[in-house]
Amino acid sequence: MARKGHTIVGLDLGSVKTCALVCKPNEEGKLEVAGLGVAESKGWRKGLIVNLDLTGLAVKKAVEAAEAAAGVSIDSAYVGVAGAHIKGVNSRGAITLGKTPAATREVEREDVRRVIRTAQGITLPEDRQLLHVLPQKFLLDSHDGIRDPVGMVGARLEVDVHLVTASASASQNVVTAVNRAGVVVQDTVFEPLASGEACLTADERELGVALVDIGGGSTDLIVYHAGVARHTAVIPVGGEHFTNDIAVGLRTPIPEAEKMKKAWGERDLAKPAGTLLEVPSVGDRPSRVVSYAMLSEVIEPRAAELMELIRAELGRSGCEKQLGAGVVLTGGGAKLGGLAGLAEQTLGMPVRAGVPFGLERMGETLPDPAFATAVGLAVHGNRRRLLRDSRASVGWFGKLWESLRGKGT
């Protein structure tokens, strides 16, 4: 297989499916899809890896399928992480710019880096690691709400940041599973942060929006306002909980319960709720017949619980009244029929489905909430690549300019 220097790979490890998405820049510089590989996930429980061998095997299957589709060899990837072990916290850092507290000078890029390092200097428990440092705003003396202070003059520079932390062991297990498939992890990304790259517009981030990523084992949330991340959280309820409710309530095997959940989500709402479904029973017991109305009685309480938990989390964010763009539901669980309507009713704000966009040649498969994280990881990876290339270009040009200027003096 050929190796492409600018190939970008997004790898989404979920408790239901593992997805590898291969993209590469086209001649116009836009990122286009080259191949997609999907495998059934195994070795997960409640959003955490419990069997590295099974998880690594699922990653390997997805990667091999993506390699075959793209015609390239995958050796590195941007990998999503999620689950109840993720925690977000806001922090502030401050530095003085002059040699004395009252002395003023121009803010330089190194000052920005220094004050951000100060803000992230919180004490973390031994088994936690810093995943993301997301700057929110800068304060220069008495001036608030500054987005980029470089070039401005002042005496004291402060910054508000949002820190996303993760369990070091849980994150390392994800990295190990990917490594066992022969893939190097270029970066680990909090999944709703990636999904936001694929599903949200700049206007929505500016106006205020909550992205709710409903996965198999958990529901991950990120709140934006004024263009920056304000709050992150994980709710320990996901699509698997709906499936388990159906399996227990209707006494049917888990695979059959998953099929029934999908059928309920894809049902024709114009048909009466009394439409019947055949439900296979556990063991050698004969199948039974139930109506969509009975299935709704099992599913709707869990959906209502999830919406109440989301509402409580938005209240804790302090941004509930600032979400002018409402809520965006994405992830595989967002396809559950009637969820958007229930969310609008419970949260009292507009709700839409988050369908990923932003790549060329996405075909019919990828514009689906279930692939939002994979698409977002590729977009994130490409953004990182462009940033590295621009820095390298500036760095090279700067060195050349300095050398030429030196020769002329």
pTM: 0.89
Cα separation, 143 vs 68, whole angstroms: 55
- pLDDT mean values, one per 10 residues, the chain (409 residues): 70 93 90 95 86 94 96 95 92 90 88 93 86 94 90 94 94 94 94 95 96 93 95 93 91 87 72 73 80 86 94 93 95 87 92 94 93 96 83 51 43
Q: How many CB atoms lie within 10 A of CB 78?
A: 25
In angstroms, what CA-CA distances link 329 with 38, 354, 369?
Answer: 22, 5, 8
Minimal CA–CA distance to 58: which of 72, 44, 77, 75? 44
Asked if 379 contacts 198 with a C-beta cutoff of 8 angstroms, the reply is: yes
In angstroms, what CA-CA distances link 214 with 19, 70, 179, 217, 372?
Answer: 16, 28, 26, 8, 11
CATH class belonging to 87-166: alpha beta
Cα separation, 40 vs 61, whole angstroms: 9
For the chain, domain boundaries:
87-166
